[in-house]
A and B are shown apart, each in its own frame.
Chain A
Amino acid sequence: MTLLDFARGPAMQIAIFIFVLGIFWRLVGVWALRQKKDLSEPRQKGAWIGGIKGLYAHAWPYKPFVPYVGAQYIVGYVIHLGLFIVLFFGTPHMLFFADIVGFTWWTLPGGVITFVALVTTVALFIALTKRLVNPVQRLISNFDDYATWFVTTLPFVTGLATTANLWPHYETGLAIHLLSVWLLLIYFPFGKLMHSFWFVVSRYTTGSRFARRGGMA
């Protein structure tokens, strides 16, 4: 069995097994917890509206803070949008998902995907640099922050190296790229990458609770 066979077969199956197990573990584990009762009288009706507002209220910083954290938001958007575009509109990636869902969709030319991946990688390194340079951010960072950055950045770096044929053998590069993605999947449920599941829930919950108490999200 070659490294690529291993990456496409057993490694993928193990990674997805751990990913699915971990995701269900985390979701059920949190949702089955006893919820804290809010004994206060609702200050206003329709707290759910506050919850919906909460989903987008933090999509951009409060105006006075823009000069201080605006750039950080932009870098964050570049990373997330880049990840989304490369993941779903790169043809080889789309075909991976198409094999699961049973249908294909429109994709972007390889050159565009490479450009977006490059920009995203640069943004990821800017984010890391800021985390290391800013004393406050460095102080509140832990292993999970750096591990999350590492497993997210690695597939971009290995993918770009594979596209550019920088490995001695293309198939070895492809295998390493796949393995780096499986590493991401394995780490996903157990670190901060779970925010992709939680951020909607937590923003809605925060928004609706604030609204119930008469505040704003």
Chain B
Amino acid sequence: MKEHSLTLGEELRRQGISRRSFLKFCAGVASSMAIPATMVPAMAASLAQARRQSVIWMSYQECTACIESLTRAFSPTVENLIFNFISLDFQHALQAAAGDQAVEALRNAMDENWGKYLVLVDGSIPLKDDGIYSTSHGQTHLESLREVAEGAAAIVSIGTCAAYGGVGAARPNPTGAVGVEDIITDKPILNVPGCPPIPEVMTGVLTSFLAFGELPAVDRLKRPSAFFSDTIHDRCYRRPFYDQGKFAKSFDDEGARKGWCLFEVGCKGPITHNACATMKFNQGVSWPIQSGHGCLGCSEPNFWDKDSFYKPLSAGQWGSAEGIAIAAAAGVALGAASAVMSRKNQDKISGGK
């Protein structure tokens, strides 16, 4: 696992992986990231010369679904990813070591690869009360992130919690949770949001970093554009039903059984950027909308607090009806006052006649 001296090509040959398989893998990644086919040979050559990348995965205020999702990646497989492509030097859910030994492994990896290692983060980071609400090995995650980030070449925030705070930052946000980019501002950061993120997006980003030595192009929310440029709605297989005006009114009506659009039952697909509709989950088996549930918008910031998941997107966020009642009462009062003034004016003009 610590064999950093071999190039990736040498390592793959040592393990008996053919060039054909390697090129197929490169073509698959290039395709998923919208890299032109003409770039595949160059990408393969660059990848073959790459040294094994030291990767440190820090898990903070999280639920482990992100790593669960990653271990279900199918192309490349997680085995390929971990054992052939990268040196995953620290990941507390997957590694055998625990306690002091695990922390020692982390320190060693940081020392040996200072300034070169890639940091992957899942989970939000509490800021309130100096971050005491989430700690590991006697260190707050706020301190831990700052320490690990200092020697990182780049940081990839895996999942919506690490990217934007996610569920940890949902109102009332008792721990003052935030995403990585709210704390670390002097390192290249890429967000792979989702609850959980699509595994192929995570592996695609890592592969791209290995091949080109830098993070891929990102959108305004620092998400890789190749995967997040389209909305769910743009690519949804139920989109024709939206255009035809055919909507499921509930989750068990005739429209739902016929697979009609889920807009009316709260689907957030039109405002959610992600690749679920094309890449799906569990080796391309399905994704939430295919399973009959509307998109929750989990790859967007603050998706927990954007009103009900089951309220149509075009419905307003009313707050309370008190404001409308106050407006009506104030309007009546103003109207009455205006009329009184007008009547006085009338009397003045007519002399009371």
Contacts and interface: CB of A to CB of B under 8 A. Distances in A.
Instruction: Report which residue of B243, B314, B319, B332 has the largest number of chain A beta carbons within 10 angstroms of its beta carbon.
Output: B314
B338 A25 contact: yes
A9 B244 CA distance: 29
A27 B335 contact: yes
Given A13-B319, A34-B343, A92-B313, 12 more contacts: A18-B327, A19-B327, A21-B327, A24-B335, A26-B335, A28-B339, A29-B338, A91-B247, A91-B264, A104-B264, A170-B231, A174-B271
A32 B312 contact: no
A29 B334 contact: yes
A17 interface: yes
A145 interface: no
A28 B341 CA distance: 13
Interface string A149-179: 0000000000000000100001100100000
A112 B245 CA distance: 10
B271 A171 contact: yes
Contacts of B319: 9, 13
B336 A20 contact: no
A21 B301 contact: no
A4 interface: yes
Given A17-B327, A20-B327, A104-B264, A174 B270 contact: yes
Nearest to B242: A110
B331 A21 contact: yes
For the residues of B in contact with A, the DSSP-based class is: helix
A20 B314 contact: no
10 contacts: A2-B301, A12-B318, A20-B327, A20-B328, A29-B336, A29-B342, A99-B311, A107-B245, A110-B245, A170-B233
Closest 9 CB pairs of A and B: A24-B331, A28-B335, A32-B339, A92-B314, A99-B315, A109-B245, A29-B335, A95-B312, A29-B338
A79 B229 CA distance: 36
Interface of A: 1-2, 4-5, 8-9, 12-13, 16-34, 91-93, 95-96, 98-99, 104, 107-112, 165, 170-171, 174
Interface string B247-286: 1010000000000000110000011000000000000000
